[in-house]
Amino acid sequence: MGQREVERAQIICRALKKTIPEPSVELNYSNALELMVATVLAAQSTDVKVNEVTAVLFKKYQHAADYVAVEAEELEKDIRSTGFYRQKAQNIRAAMAILIREYDGQVPKQMDALLGLPGIGRKSANVILGNVYGVPGVVVDTHVGRVSRRLGLTAETAPSKVEKVLAQLLPVEEWTAFGQRVVLHGRYVCKARKPRCDECVLMPHCDYFARQIAGA
């Protein structure tokens, strides 16, 4: 990884800052516990659907103990519309039991501790750490992976490897915001099936455009 790649990544970073000056996660939450639950529910679902569910859910369940005290079937019913509700309910209840047992009911601030919670992977952990605790991390979801490969920032497909490459290309203070900007860019501009290249500020720096569009 040379200076050219680093400079190119920084150009892309600056361009995204202009179009998405204040990036934020599109899940609604007011604290770490709510964001943790929302990230579990977001798996194989949409942020819009999760926000519909949590608008009611977070009024009913406000502490880790609330999720543990309720019957599994009731929690499943409350989150059913997000899909895979049985597994999600199981993960949430198990994670809450760990929080109560090991962390005084609070969501931990360490990556390793978060990864020990059922239903929480590196993507979700970075979302929580970056948005609630201010701990830098590059969130890599399907959008970030796709956009990073199209831009030519990496050829890696495994999220953990994409995260490592992007972290090497950018200064630490840019990690969280850059990841969130790329998520939004991928969601609304660089879409999987029909990328809106004519509206994209990154077009001059995009390998995908140069290869697939301009060369057609």
Catalytic residues: 123, 141
Q: Give CA–CA dist 138/178, Å, rounded.
A: 7
Do residues 143 and 191 touch, judged by C-beta distance below 8 A?
no
Do residues 140 and 163 touch, judged by C-beta distance below 8 A?
yes
C-alpha distance from residue 123 to each of 42, 60, 74, 160, 196 (Å): 11, 26, 28, 9, 25
Q: What is the DSSP string of 135-181?
A: -------HHHHHHHHHHTS----SHHHHHHHHHHHS-GGGHHHHHHH
**b (16+ CB within 10 A) / e for 24-48:** ebbbebeebbbbbbbbbbbbebebe
**Residue given tokens 């697939």 in the structure block:** 212
